[in-house]
């Protein structure tokens, strides 16, 4: 998310009021009258603009534009990555908890770096298969669940408990994404099977996924 300053409308309204006042209460039949009007308007605009500087607002970053390479496997993988990034960006804006939103932003940045690196180094596609088949879809599922629960007006014990469980796992997930990115810059592929087993065990122990989730994991 990028931040831009949205200008205040106060200076414009102030100048409009000055012109209306001048037109109804002051003479306007000489050139000097118009010059003074312009001078006062300019000074009022600058002064009110200095006092009311507007506010910073967040705007969504432009969607990445991917140019197909002709490598069907690589193109499909990168497009899936862009879709995951789009979902993370949307989820981050929906979640009000600043810590969780910040962690989602971190995951978005890491995911973007992972797929950008693979796009430039197609030979490393095999190094992110487990990441693509398990880490990424599981993380997105958890984030969607958290966003949906956080949007509930009334939170009972079950909703609060589930949100707390997901919050407690976010640090582990961020570290896993960081390790995946770091492994791409190593001469040896990182075996994240152990990390997947640990994450899967945590998910099942906390009751966040069913036993069937494990069957979707691919080597």
> Lowest-pLDDT range, 113-117, 202-206, 213-217?
213-217
* Residue 31 or residue 109, greater confidence: 109
Q: Is residue 29 part of a domain?
A: yes
In this model, does residue 116 exceed pLDDT 60?
A: yes
8 Å CB contact between 159 and 149 = yes
Long-range contacts of 125-128 (CB under 8 A, 24+ apart): 125/73, 125/74, 125/77, 126/189, 127/183, 127/184, 127/189, 127/190, 128/77, 128/180, 128/184
Give yes or no: residues 35 and 136 share one domain.
no
In this model, does residue 216 exceed pLDDT 50?
A: no
Give yes or no: residues 32 and 84 share one domain.
no
Give yes or no: residues 190 and 158 share one domain.
yes
* Residue 64 or residue 201, greater confidence: 201
Q: Is residue 61 part of a domain?
A: no
pLDDT band at 155 (very low <50, low <70, confident <90, very high): confident
Predicted local confidence at residue 217, as pLDDT:
42
Average pLDDT, the chain: 82
Question: What are 166-214's pLDDT values in tens digits?
Answer: 998 898 899 889 988 988 887 554 555 666 667 777 777 766 655 334 4
CA distances from residue 37 to 14, 46, 57 in whole angstroms, order as listed? 13, 14, 33
Handedness of CA 94, 96, 99, 100 (dihedral sign): negative
Q: Kindly state the percentage of the chain with pLDDT values over 70.
A: 80
100-129: average pLDDT: 92
Tally the C-alpha atoms within 13 A of residue 153's C-alpha that lie toward its C-beta.
0
Q: Is residue 116 part of a domain?
A: yes
77-105: average pLDDT: 92
Please tell me the distance from the alpha carbon of residue 85 to that of residue 100, in angstroms, as a whole number.
16
Give yes or no: residues 25 and 87 share one domain.
no
Question: What are 12-31's pLDDT values in tens digits?
Answer: 889 899 889 888 888 878 88
Residue 92 gets the label, from left (phi > 0), alpha (psi -120 to 50) or beta, of alpha
CA-based nearest residue to 89, from 18, 2, 174? 2
pLDDT band at 215 (very low <50, low <70, confident <90, very high): very low
Give yes or no: residues 49 and 128 share one domain.
no
Residue with tokens 């069957």: 215
Give yes or no: residues 157 and 133 share one domain.
yes
* Residue 82 or residue 199, greater confidence: 82
Which range of residues forms the domain containing residue 48? 2-56
Predicted local confidence at residue 58, as pLDDT:
63
124-151: average pLDDT: 90
Give yes or no: residues 46 and 135 share one domain.
no
Give yes or no: residues 204 and 115 share one domain.
yes
Total domains in the chain come to: 2
8 Å CB contact between 35 and 43 = no
End-to-end CA distance of the chain: 34
Q: Is residue 170 part of a domain?
A: yes
Q: Is residue 162 part of a domain?
A: yes
């Amino acid at each position: 998310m990028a931040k831009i300053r949205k200008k205040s409308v106060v200076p414009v309204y102030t100048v409009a009021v000055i012109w209306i006042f001048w037109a109804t209460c002051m003479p306007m039949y000489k050139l000097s009258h118009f010059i003074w009007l312009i001078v006062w308007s300019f000074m009022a605009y600058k002064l009110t603009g200095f006092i009311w500087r507007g506010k910073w607002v967040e705007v969504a970053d432009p969607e990445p534009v991917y140019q197909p390479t002709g490598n069907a496997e690589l193109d499909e993988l990168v497009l899936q990555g862009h879709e995951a990034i789009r979902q993370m960006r949307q989820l981050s804006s929906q979640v009000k908890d600043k810590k969780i939103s910040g962690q989602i932003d971190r995951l978005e940045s890491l995911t973007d770096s992972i797929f950008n690196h693979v796009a430039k180094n197609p030979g490393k596609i095999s190094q992110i298969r487990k990441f693509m088949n398990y880490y990424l879809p599981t993380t997105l599922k958890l984030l969607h669940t958290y966003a949906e629960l956080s949007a509930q007006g009334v939170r009972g014990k079950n909703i609060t408990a589930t949100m707390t469980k997901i919050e407690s796992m976010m640090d582990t997930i961020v570290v896993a994404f960081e390790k995946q990115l770091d492994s791409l810059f190593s001469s040896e592929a990182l075996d994240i099977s152990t990390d997947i087993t640990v994450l899967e065990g945590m998910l099942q122990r906390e009751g966040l996924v069913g036993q069937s989730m494990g069957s979707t994991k691919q080597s």
